[in-house]
Amino acid sequence: MTDLVIDSLDCVYIPFDISHSNPAAYCSVLTRRNRLQYAFDTANSIFRHFGGMRNRLMDLYEQGNGAEWKPGVSDIGYDRFNLTIGPWGTQDQAWWESSRVLFATMTLVVSDTMTILIKGESWPPDDIEQVVFCRMDGVYYRPQQNFLSFFKITHLPRGDANGDQVINIADVMYMMNYLFRHGTPPVTFEAGDVNCDNDHGILDVVYLINYLYKNGNSPGCP
């Protein structure tokens, strides 16, 4: 049973540090998909359903609640950015601390392999430079499961499912093996999502074959 006080979310603040494998590389947070005014652009929102997972905030919005959630990406620099999200309406604050649902999907543009570190070393937070999840009764908490402290992002073109920097028949075989023989997933989600519909399926294989052998469109988003 849901307790709206305990299972609530009053604010989220997550500071990130970025380190690059190549000092000359760049990283930018893709503004169009992460800024406040696009919060409920259902295809591009930071709250979009992604990779077969439901986003809790998009679910709320689709049920007629949640329009007052305010996401923002601030203090964007070469080696850092902050993600802040705050709900302004009571219904919008309903959350489930132990639920394994998607919270937000960040979109970044990278030119190399980079590591993003969530700055959450000390707990509870004593200043704004650390992760803050706050309930509507003012209690801080940390998400219970799978709270990553860092993750790597590697740039791969869509279609390069096996990650060898070439798009060819080997990627078709790799995707077939993954989809139908319980093989290894694509090296990055985007590399396997050839047709850019936020999912992996036979349509991605068809798209790749059309591109490689039938003068079809290049992999990627329109």
Q: Does 197 bind Ca ion (CB under 5 A)?
A: yes
Strand partners, 180: none
Cβ 176 to Ca ion, closest distance in Å? Answer: 13
Q: Does 193 bind Ca ion (CB under 5 A)?
A: yes
Given a contact cutoff of 8 angstroms between Cβ atoms, the answer to whether 156 and 190 are in contact is yes
Return the bridge partners of 86, or none.
70
Q: In the structure encoding, which two tokens stand for residue 12, read together?
A: 């989220």
Min dist CB 144 to Ca ion, Å, is: 31
Size of the site for Ca ion (CB under 5 A): 10
162 is a site residue for Ca ion (CB under 5 A): yes
Coil, strand or helix: which one is 166?
A: coil
Q: For Ca ion, which residue of 38, 171, 205, 219 counts as binding (CB under 5 A)? A: 171
190: contact with Ca ion by CB under 5 A: no
Using CB under 5 A as the binding rule, whether residue 164 contacts Ca ion is answered as: yes
Amino acid, single-letter form, for residue 132? V
Q: Which residues pair with 85 in a beta bridge?
A: 12, 71
Residue 185: exposure state from Cβ atoms within 10 A (0-12, 13-18, ≥19): middle
Minimum CB distance to Ca ion smaller for 109 or for 166:
166
Residue 92 is a binding residue for Ca ion (CB under 5 A): no
> Which positions lie near Ca ion, rule CB under 5 A?
160, 162, 164, 166, 171, 193, 195, 197, 199, 204
